[in-house]
Copies of this chain bind each other. A is one copy, B any other.
């Protein structure tokens, strides 16, 4: 320990901040995504004394929370965020909303004014709990040093609720600046385990499915893993049915020799057509609903009587699927999935979303991780992912845009040996583009492909469906991003990230080859129509 870092209270050298970090470390935390301010400096000094937690600085809080989300999804471990009072936390809410929908286990640390200073309503005072509650399983105010061990334990327990989630600790400066109670003993880590599905539920599903009928097995939760996909495919094959996954999986394993998984559609009319008259077995997935409410279309897209509720998102869908397959007569002989040959698209042709995806299918290495945001590349990728080598895909679970780049940061930190590819729409990339700096700073192996179509394509699609005139000046002004066009190469270079613009398939192929072998980040601006 650096001599200058020794706490000044020599009678009891351990401060509240030291105990807090010790509890967090013993509870399983190994990394802290930080954007601290003055109220977090006692924790910064304690992080320096402790030295066991990796600290990753970002220039904006949305990067911290999105990176924590990506780290949690890929590793299954509990990362920390360190954020500055209500306003600093607020900048991280959008990606915590996505993390909540993903069931990502995260502990947020928010520094707050000293307990005795709160009443004076200083400029940075705000109602932190009101801000934090919508994205936290629990918000815990640390009101004394004696509460530190129990509060941290409570936070970790909260992250294990249902399918998992975030807990938020609000930490007044005086509490962590005070001496730690001498007798405090940090609790051990509590591993997350999905809740077992009751045997009766499996029996009921088996009874229902014994009747003949069209069947869809809809995967979510832990059934998005290799084991879950194989079990789901076995069930679907045994019933002569189809295998689908929820539309926005937190992280799903695809490609290689895994069975093909069809993605649930987006618009309600498409989902209704896709589901037909099938019974839908919910295996860790939520029931199909409309993403938004559209006049004339229902919210619930499969009626109750056609839903077979096998496993909720927080339940062990894999074990339930296995048990159900056994109950229905065992695993059928499945023909192994053989990938169709993949070839690079015509080199001299200009890029299209489809050709970007084709080239990536060719080049994506085994065990890569894709962070996917936006439908321009996301849609075609998930329709074709089974043709790629085995990989994992993270998607935007909560619809709060600005998730893709920071999730890629977190993934790369969780799996430094993997190639991480960020398939990113240009509109959503803007919300957390500061992620690029952290990629450069940490030397992360991330290849970012920005789909540069210079518009909010999803809004244009929605407006077109509503028969609104896209060329009207006001509508164009609010949906087109071409005045001026953003130069993503310049932005990336501004953050110290190597970057290149690609307009043809050959240029993209060359850039991708470079990115996937580079020991650090590369941004490819894929100019698209």
Q: Identify the A interface with B (CB < 8 A).
A: 2, 4-5, 34, 36-39, 41, 44-45, 47-48, 51, 55, 57, 59-60, 62, 85-88, 90-91, 93-94, 97-98, 101, 113-114, 116-117, 119-120, 122-124, 126-127, 130-131, 133-135, 173-174, 177, 248, 289-293, 295, 299-300, 397-402, 427, 430-431, 433-434, 437, 440-441, 458-459, 462-463, 466-469, 472-475, 477-479, 481, 483-491, 493-496
Contact = CB atoms under 8 A, between A and B. Distances in A.
B469 A4 contact: yes
A177 B295 contact: yes
6 contacts: A41-B468, A45-B463, A97-B126, A123-B291, A123-B398, A124-B291
B87 A90 contact: no
A174 B485 CA distance: 34
Contact of A87 (B60, B88, B97, B479): B97
A123 B5 contact: no
B477 A55 contact: yes
Nearest to A440: B484
B474 A131 contact: no
A300 B116 CA distance: 11
A486 B495 contact: yes
Contacts of A430: 59-60, 434
Contact of A488 (B116, B119, B290, B494): B494
Contacts of A458: 38
Nearest to A47: B474
A401 B87 CA distance: 8
Nearest to A496: B484
Nearest to A490: B494
Contacts of A86: 93, 97, 134
A134 B124 contact: no
Contacts of A434: 430, 433
A520 B333 CA distance: 69
Given A4-B467, A62-B91, A101-B123, 6 more contacts: A87-B401, A90-B400, A93-B93, A120-B290, A441-B483, A441-B484
A101 to B, nearest CB: 6
Nearest to A57: B478
